[in-house]
Amino acid sequence: MDSSRVEEFQSEREKKIESFEDLHVYQRARELTNVIYGLTHNADFARDFGLVDQIRRASVSIMSNIAEGFERGTNAEFIQFLFIAKGSCGEVRAQSTISYDQKYISHADYINLVDRCRRISGMLSNLIGHLKRSPYRGAKYKKLPYKSMADEINELLKEINKDSKKNP
């Protein structure tokens, strides 16, 4: 890897995560969902309404659970939703096997789907492990800045003085 690629990779890794869309695992889940939708438009596959619906819902569930868990505001809830996303990843793998067995998708497409699912599942496991080890509990538990009693009293006195000047 040349130095410019290394610098680009390092800056990408140091980028602050501000929304679920910034998560690499979410981006990979989105790519998987788009691949699933593309494959399920093929004629034979498209006629198997039950399987098409199931595999699409499972792939969308991966993305949705990452998003919902992130937005919940606590690590505990995020972890719970990441486990659900991981389960949905397993569903997509199982349904990919059925799709391959029914000859709806090629061997290359099957291997591609299984590989994507395994990578996403691994990314979810790594994120879960990181969150479990993190002392940060989530945005819901953000501590308010500490104010001493003297600071509180001074603020109240300022407000009283403002009010008394307005209403003499």
CA separation, residue 132 to residues 14, 66, 117 (Å): 20, 16, 22
Q: What is the pLDDT of residue 13?
A: 56
What is the rounded average pLDDT of the residues 16-40? 96
Q: What pLDDT, on the 0 to 100 scale, is given for residue 10?
A: 46
Residue 74 has pLDDT above 80, yes or no: yes
84 and 60 in contact (C-beta within 8 Å)?
no
Q: pTM of the predicted model, to two decimals?
A: 0.76
Domains in the chain: ranges and CATH: 18-142 (1.20.1440.60)
Which tokens hold the place of 80? 């719970």
Question: For position 151, what pLDDT does the model report?
Answer: 76
What is the pLDDT confidence band of residue 156, given thresholds at 50, 70 and 90?
A: confident
Mean pLDDT of the chain: 88
Q: What is the 3-state secondary structure (H, E, C) of 67-78?
A: HHHHHHCCHHHH
For residues 64 and 29, give the distance between their C-alpha atoms in angstroms, rounded to a whole number: 9
